[in-house]
Amino acid sequence: MNLSGALDPVNSLTSSSGKFLYVLNQFSSGTTTNSNSTISAFTINSQGQLAPLSDSTNNPYAVGSGPVCIAQDPSNQYLYISDFNDSTVTGKLIDQNRGFLSDLSRGTVFPTSMKPSCLAISGNL
């Protein structure tokens, strides 16, 4: 199962609450490159069934080009995505009640010195 227009899923993450599933998509329909990469977001009900989040205006959510890895921070507030093709990491804020994603207040895209292939997040700062 995936959202309409979201193609080539490459990775996924279940939120620490177990209520939401986030799927990284390399492509969107109508494109020949993965510059329009996205995250499809779903709710998980008590029987384990998936339903798209009701945020139909934004879901699937835009990320950098060529996402390969997704991680949730230890505080369970943020998602970070490594974007291989454009050498960035994308950050998103998680609405804990609805699962919606939004941009971070101090910038959402962070450049890397090389092409990131995965992420590790430390709880110690």
Q: What are the extents of the domains in the chain?
A: 6-111
Written as one letter, the residue type at 101 is: L
Residue % of the chain over a pLDDT of 70: 86
Max CA pair span of the chain: 43
Reading the block at residue 19, the tokens are: 């209520």
List pLDDT tens digits, range 3-59: 656 667 788 999 999 999 999 988 655 544 446 788 999 999 999 899 999 998 888
Q: Give pTM, 2 decimals.
A: 0.86
CB 92 within 8 A of CB 110: no
Q: What is the pLDDT of residue 34?
A: 47
